[in-house]
A and B are shown apart, each in its own frame.
Chain A
């Protein structure tokens, strides 16, 4: 199993540009999440999904959009990039909500720089 994969590894955008960060998992996990990590602030939840077709907002959803058309993929869209979205983005997945199944496994991250 490849686990959780993310592309691209690094991206530079200009203010106002849009892009999609890709996330895929091959572990048949129902739950997937997107976090951003900024210095001194820890990981913060952007959006999450509890299954195909079901998404919800996390702590910092503004400026981001998600969809979940398949179990495997959970792309994150930046609609109009702003310098405040410069960050490292991590995708995570977990099997389910039962005790012992809720552990989240993280991808390698995408570093995004918005100029």
Chain B
């Protein structure tokens, strides 16, 4: 069964304290892995797509990496405005490409 597990469930950082969020996945074949950011009361906002092991994408203080079993979202020198829930989703091979399987997210709080 295709599955996505994110850890930790919640993370509290001081401003400037770098860390990583983990997304472990089990899928018969990976077409793509997606990272989203979700602010309270809002819809998920797209961050990155990764397609193959070894691939990396960067945007401001965020860098996403991918291996054959997991993805990491590295946050370098975070600021309070980076506080949000970060969601990971996988798109398996086979079937329609708009069938995403989501993890439950990591709630990140960055304190000034």
Interface of A toward B, CB cutoff 8 Å:
4, 31-33, 35, 40-45, 48, 50, 56, 58, 90, 92, 94, 96-97, 99-100, 102-109
Contacts and interface: CB of A to CB of B under 8 A. Distances in A.
A20 B32 CA distance: 32
Contacts of A96: 97
Contacts of B89: 43
Contacts, number: 68
B78 interface: no
25 contacts: A4-B43, A31-B97, A33-B100, A42-B4, A42-B103, A43-B100, A45-B99, A48-B96, A50-B96, A90-B43, A97-B97, A99-B32, A99-B51, A102-B31, A102-B49, A103-B34, A103-B46, A104-B34, A104-B98, A106-B36, A106-B45, A106-B46, A107-B43, A108-B42, A109-B42
A94 B104 contact: no
Given A31-B98, A42-B105, 9 more contacts: A4-B43, A42-B4, A45-B99, A48-B99, A97-B97, A103-B46, A104-B98, A104-B100, A107-B43
Interface string B60-94: 00000000000000000000000000010101000
Interface of B: 4, 31-32, 34, 36, 41-46, 49, 51, 87, 89, 91, 96-100, 102-105
Given A90-B43, A103-B49, A56 B96 contact: yes
A53 B45 CA distance: 28
Contacts of B43: 4, 90, 106-109
B44 A106 contact: yes
Contact of B98 (A33, A41, A108): A33
